[in-house]
Every structure is written in C-alpha cells, then in structure tokens.
A = this chain, B = another copy of it.
Amino acid sequence: MNTDRIQLAHGGGGQLTTELITEVIVPILGGQDVAVMTDAAVLDMPPGRVALTTDSYVVQPLEFPGGDIGKLAVCGTVNDLSVCGAIPVALTMGLVLQEGLEIARLKRVLSSAAAAAETAGVRIVTGDTKVVGRDACDGMTINTAGVGTLMPAASLGFDHIAAGDRVIVSGPLGEHGLAVMSKRKGLSFTAELESDCAPLNELTTTLVESFADEVRFMRDPTRGGLAATLAEISTSANVDVEIVQASIPVNRTVRAAGEMLGLDLMTVANEGKLVTIVAPDAAEQAVAILRKHAIAREASIIGTIVDTSEHPIVELVTKAGGRRVIQMPYGEQLPRIC
C-alpha cells in the first residue's frame, strides 16, 4: 500500500483514519496536546459575548507565493472575527481530502496553518477529516470555523457610519488575487508577487483599544475586493462614498499583473488588508497607529463618507480628475481565489 498518498481508506473511520489523525494531523496542528483534536473541544471562554464565523476554502492552486490553503483558512477566519471586533480564541478545521493527495503536501499545508495560528494567537482545537475520490475534489478543501470574544469597547456597525467619516485601507490592493492568478496562469514577473495573506487581529485590536467609538466599521476586502466592500458599506449604511484614486496604495508589480490579466484591482481579492471607517478627528492618528505594524506600513486615508443618501453610490475620483461609479461586481471575475 502506498503510504505517501491519501487513500480512500483514510476516510473510513477505522484504524487508518485514527493513524492519519494521530500521526499526521494532530502532531502538526495540536503539538503535544492530543486531547485538543477529539470530536468536540471544551473551551474556557473569557467572559463576554461570543462571535462565531465560518469559511470554506477552495483556492487553486493549493500553494501559491506568499501562502497556501492552510494559511488562508486560518487567516480568513481569524479576520472575519477580527473585523467584527472580536478577539479570536479558537478555530475548528474540517478537511476534505482527495484520494491521491501527497501526504507531504498535506503536511506542508497543515504546518502553514499551524504557523498562521501561532502568529494570530489562536488554537486549532478540533477537526474532522473526510476523503473523497479522485473526481470529487481538487486536492483538498478546508473549512475553518472560529469563535472569539467581542471586545466590550468595540462599537461597530453600518449604522455607526456618518457623513464626514474617513475611509482607511491598511495597504496596497490586489496582492492575494494576483499572486494566485499569476501562479495559476504560469506568469512570472521581475519583482516578487506575493499574496498578502495575514491575520489582522493585531491591527483590529489596536484600533479598537485606541479609539473605540471613533472606529465605526471594519471589514476585510476579500472576494469582490475593495469595490464589493465599499458597495456594501454604501448600500447598507445608506451613504455616498467618495474614493480618491491617487490615494489608494498599489504595488507596481501588482498593477502590471492586473493590467496584463485585464483585472481591475478594485475588484481583486485581498487576504491581509483592512478597510476601516473612522471618525474624521481620529483618522490621521489611526493611520499612524496602523503604520507601526509590518503588514500596514502603507496604510492610507483613501476617501470620505460624503453624505447620507436614498440612492447611495460609491464614486472614484480618478487621477485625471474625472469621476467613475464603483459598482458591486456582478459575478465571477476570479474563480477559486479563496
């Protein structure tokens, strides 16, 4: 029997399943603490309200510059908790593995997930493993769910957004989407093109602790990119938003890759960026605080909530001084990006 690859039998619930879990998965994800990977984990949650989220990850290819599906699965769920003002506490990990997947690759992905969890200060406390046939999956998919405790100081929501508030983005757009697409299409560039995939909880915690009421709303602009995030803010808060193109940080290589692939960076997924709506008086200081963090050195104020509106729109003031409406992307621009 080939022991280098996942077999259907690894999913049968018998001895081989136990071996895969106790010899491959738990040592990487759970360290020495085997008890953490039983069917259900027991948590001593800090007191307070609990945030709960989930995401499934189907990215192709599984490994790409700057990350892989394991890192993505941890960061994505950490970030969903973070932007709603929660401190991430624990994650679950559900693996669906394709028959024939190299176990060495599984180990790389799990190691990457474990490293991301350590960076974010969360534990992967319980999991599940299923195996499907060769036609039923592309290597693997991962689902992570996460629980966190809401920071009592956090006071966030679409209804907190008011005219005059500033729009801040924590760094250059489009890195994740273009790193994945370039890898998929076999493109190479003279400069590095890496996914920005990173946990945002340090940024969000710092912002909430520093400002509380002045931070109105936070979101990570993933699928659909900044365009989808701003369109949702505009529609849900009933406000017009004005964004200044010249203020949006963009990496030159990413811009070149976007032009080559015909992609608008406003609609490309990010996996380590934060969009924050902040009260006008606090905006400059919020940017200064963000820039102290390695993943937010280029944080910038990129626009303003200009007014409440019955027919809300997002407008981009172009470098040439023109105006363009930013719409919610319709459908599929970048498949399997997360």
Contacts and interface: CB of A to CB of B under 8 A. Distances in A.
Contacts of A137: 136-137
Contacts of A83: 39-40
B56 A331 contact: no
Contact of A12 (B93, B147, B224): B224
Interface stretch (A3-11, A251-259, A275-283): A3-11
Interface stretch (A41-49, A185-193, A310-318): A41-49
A222 interface: yes
Nearest to A158: B38
A208 interface: no
A107 interface: no
Given A51-B41, A52-B43, A56-B95, A228 B14 contact: yes
B42 A328 contact: no
Query: SS class of chain A's interface: helix, strand, loop or mixed?
Result: mixed
Given A96-B58, A137-B137, A126 B332 contact: no
A16 interface: yes
Contact of A45 (B45, B84, B131, B332): B45
A127 interface: yes
Interface in A77-128: 80-81, 83-84, 86, 90, 92-96, 125-128
Contacts of A136: 58, 136-138
A328 B52 contact: no
A333 interface: yes
Given A17-B223, A58-B96, A138-B132, A9 B330 contact: yes
Contact of A54 (B12, B92, B228): B92
Contacts of A7: 331-332
B222 A13 contact: yes
Contacts of A55: 94, 128
A83 to B, nearest CB: 7
Interface residues of A, number: 75
A150 interface: yes
Nearest to A8: B332
B80 A329 contact: no
A83 B18 CA distance: 19
Given A12-B223, A40-B84, A228-B14, A54 B127 contact: yes
Contact of A14 (B16, B40, B133, B329): B329
B92 A145 contact: yes
A269 interface: yes
Given A43-B51, A228-B13, A331-B7, A135 B132 contact: no
Given A135-B135, A136-B58, A44 B51 contact: no
Contacts of A128: 54-56, 143
B51 A330 contact: no
A42 to B, nearest CB: 5
Given A8-B332, A40-B80, A334-B12, A45 B50 contact: yes
A152 interface: no
10 contacts: A40-B81, A40-B84, A42-B49, A42-B50, A43-B49, A43-B52, A52-B147, A92-B145, A94-B143, A135-B135
